[in-house]
């Protein structure tokens, strides 16, 4: 179907795409209690899986309620690594023993960036980009300020993101760490993880990738791309719930060398011995710090299993179809009204959200939300629509962009 066909067709065309959707049955696995809201923000907070409610009630009533503190030795303590292995082996291309679910994305970033910088003494530079997600930039700025390091900022087109040649231009013998988001939070641009990681290694630096906008939406191959370190959240496409714990990945070959800075009792060898002094645990366990958040881990585990059940290849295929549909509607309906697509046109370089640029984006987002179409505003001029493949329908996309078209026509 061409852009013109989409623009001139009716809502039934979207409904037909929904009926042909191989993942349509998964939409019924989520809670819909929002009275007809068109939810196009699943890349910020995923919908609640129905199984999460069941599992949380079971943990509270049957485990916490009956086993009490005994539950720690009956499986609770193993959750960060057990869920980490499920996530890593099934969705991140990581062999067992390299992923742990713990802390927040910011804390995980701090731990891994700090450990990476300490492992490259004498090197004085960090490479990242101006359009990297704010928490990534702030953590790196904090560490650079504390250690007297320099950040080599890449000034890329926000709709395009850093390309390997731009990274090569600022990477060299002084580079300690190269850190980017795999999928840009504003534009959905997919960076070339393999090429950028190879460039960093050629310079003797380590890499740290933020997977927040790719985990659960598209295949990730951490081991195959020889990534050193990675972090990500579980509350977006993995549907782990608000404030769900993040995850971190440390390549096996680095686990003996790297020393994370937040020494807590769970990262110590023989934690329950409560011994004097800190002796780091073996493997990925050394990256843990405090007591696991059992309810948060339970919810994250449910969301991760749902994504695994659906299959990441099928999810990626639908994510591409949804974004292609949204872009076709934008070209046909919204471009004549002053909207431009600020995401890559090449689906292989685009994640599962679409950025629509308009000078009045902030006001448009507020009015859309008021009218029951939940989207995101991203400064300075982007209406961001997140198309979470398991819970977003083609009809949702049609209805949301049709309402945006109506607002723009009112203004015109």
Residues 112 and 143 in one domain: yes
- Whether residues 254 and 304 share a domain: the answer is yes
Helices (H), 119-221: 134-147, 164-170, 193-202
Domain identity same for 161 and 267: yes
Q: Are 124 and 150 in contact (CB under 8 A)?
A: yes
Task: Output the pLDDT for position 411.
Answer: 86
Q: List active site positions.
A: 133, 210, 235-236, 384
- Single residue among 283, 309, 335 that ends a domain in this structure: 309
- When divided into structural domains, the chain yields a total of 2
| pLDDT at residue 412 in the model | 81
Rounded to whole angstroms, how far apart are CA atoms 302 and 216? 13
Q: Using the predicted structure, report yes or no on whether residue 8 has a pLDDT greater than 90.
A: no
Distance separating alpha carbons of residues 412 and 409, to the nearest angstrom: 5
Question: Has this prediction a pTM greater than 0.95?
Answer: yes
Q: H-type helices in 203-311, by residue range?
A: 294-310
Which of 309, 331, 356 is the C-terminal boundary of a domain? 309
Rounded Cα distance between 336 and 7, Å, is: 12
The verdict on 233 and 330 lying in the same domain is no
How far is it between the farthest Cα atoms of the chain? 72
Residue 33 domain flag:
yes
Last residue of a domain, one of 268, 285, 309: 309
Determine the Cα–Cα distance for residues 83 and 381; give it in Å rounded to an integer.
38
302 with 320, same domain?
no
Q: What percent of the chain has pLDDT over 90?
A: 94
pLDDT in tens, 307-347: 999 999 999 999 999 999 999 999 999 999 999 999 999 99
Judged against a pLDDT cut of 90, whether residue 144 lies above it is answered with yes
Q: Which of 210, 138, 127 is nearest to 173 (CA)?
A: 127
Does 16 score more than 60 pLDDT? yes
CA angle 346/351/355 to nearest 5° reads: 80
CATH number of the domain that residue 148 is part of = 3.40.640.10
Q: Compute CA distances 42 → 16, 121, 240, 345, 349, whole Å.
A: 22, 40, 11, 21, 20
Q: Are residues 336 and 383 in the same domain?
A: yes
Task: Print burial letters for 371-390: b (CB count within 10 Å at least 16), e (below 16).
Answer: eebbbbbbeebbbbbbbbbb
Question: What is the per-residue pLDDT across 115-134, written as a single tens digit (0 to 9) for each?
Answer: 999 999 999 999 999 999 99
Q: Which of 57-61, 154-158, 215-219, 282-286 has the lowest mean pLDDT?
A: 154-158
Same domain, 134 and 167: yes
pLDDT in tens, 29-70: 999 998 889 999 999 999 999 999 999 999 999 999 999 999
Do residues 152 and 290 share a domain?
yes
Both tokens of residue 375?
A: 């989207």
Supply the range of the domain harboring residue 391: 3-48+311-411
Same domain, 100 and 152: yes
**pLDDT average, residue stretch 205-212:** 98
Same domain, 34 and 105: no
- Residue 63 located in a structural domain: no
Taken in order 119, 124, 129, 135, the sign of the CA dihedral is positive
- Asked if 213 and 260 sit in the same domain, the reply is yes
Examine residue 88 and say whether the peptide bond preceding it is cis (omega within 30 degrees of 0): no
Same-domain pairing of 112 and 18: no
Indicate the range of 149-158, 218-227, 253-262 predicted with least confidence: 149-158
Question: Which pLDDT belongs to residue 130?
Answer: 96
């Amino acid at each position: 179907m061409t852009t013109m066909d989409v623009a001139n067709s009716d809502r039934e065309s979207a409904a037909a795409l929904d009926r042909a959707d191989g993942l349509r049955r998964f939409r019924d696995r989520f809670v819909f209690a929002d009275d007809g809201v068109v939810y196009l923000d699943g890349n910020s907070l995923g919908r609640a899986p129905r199984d999460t409610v069941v599992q949380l009630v079971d943990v509270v009533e049957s485990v916490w309620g009956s086993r009490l503190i005994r539950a720690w030795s009956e499986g609770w303590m193993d959750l960060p690594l057990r869920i980490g292995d499920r996530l890593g082996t099934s969705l991140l291309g990581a062999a067992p023993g390299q992923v742990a679910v713990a802390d927040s994305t910011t804390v995980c970033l701090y731990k891994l960036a700090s450990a990476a910088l300490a492992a490259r003494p004498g090197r004085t530079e960090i490479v990242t980009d101006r359009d990297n997600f704010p928490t990534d930039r702030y953590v790196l700025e904090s560490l650079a300020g504390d250690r007297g390091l320099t950040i080599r900022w890449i000034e890329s087109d926000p709709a395009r993101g850093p390309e390997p040649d731009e990274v090569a231009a600022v990477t060299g013998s002084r580079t300690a760490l190269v850190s980017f988001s795999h999928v840009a939070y504003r534009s959905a641009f997919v960076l070339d993880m393999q090429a950028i990681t190879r460039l960093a290694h050629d310079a003797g630096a380590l890499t740290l990738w933020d997977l927040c906008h790719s985990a659960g939406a598209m295949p990730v191959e951490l081991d195959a791309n020889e990534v050193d370190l990675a972090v990500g959240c579980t509350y977006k496409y993995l549907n782990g719930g608000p404030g769900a714990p993040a995850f971190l990945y440390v390549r096996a070959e680095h686990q003996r060398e790297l020393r994370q800075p937040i020494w807590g009792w769970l990262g110590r060898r023989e934690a329950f011995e409560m011994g004097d002094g800190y002796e780091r645990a073996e493997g990925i366990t050394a990256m843990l710090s405090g007591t696991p958040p059992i309810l948060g881990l339970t919810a994250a585990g449910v969301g991760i299993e749902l994504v695994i059940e659906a299959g990441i290849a099928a999810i990626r295929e639908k994510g591409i179809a949804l974004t292609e549909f949204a872009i076709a509607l934008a070209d046909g309906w919204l471009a004549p009204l002053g909207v431009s697509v600020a995401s890559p046109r090449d689906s292989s370089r685009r994640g599962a959200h679409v950025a629509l640029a308009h000078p009045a984006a902030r006001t448009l987002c507020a009015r859309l939300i008021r009218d029951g179409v939940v989207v995101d505003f991203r400064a300075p001029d982007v209406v961001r629509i997140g198309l979470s493949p398991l819970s977003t329908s083609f009809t949702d996309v049609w209805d949301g962009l049709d309402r945006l078209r109506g607002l723009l026509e009112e203004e015109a």
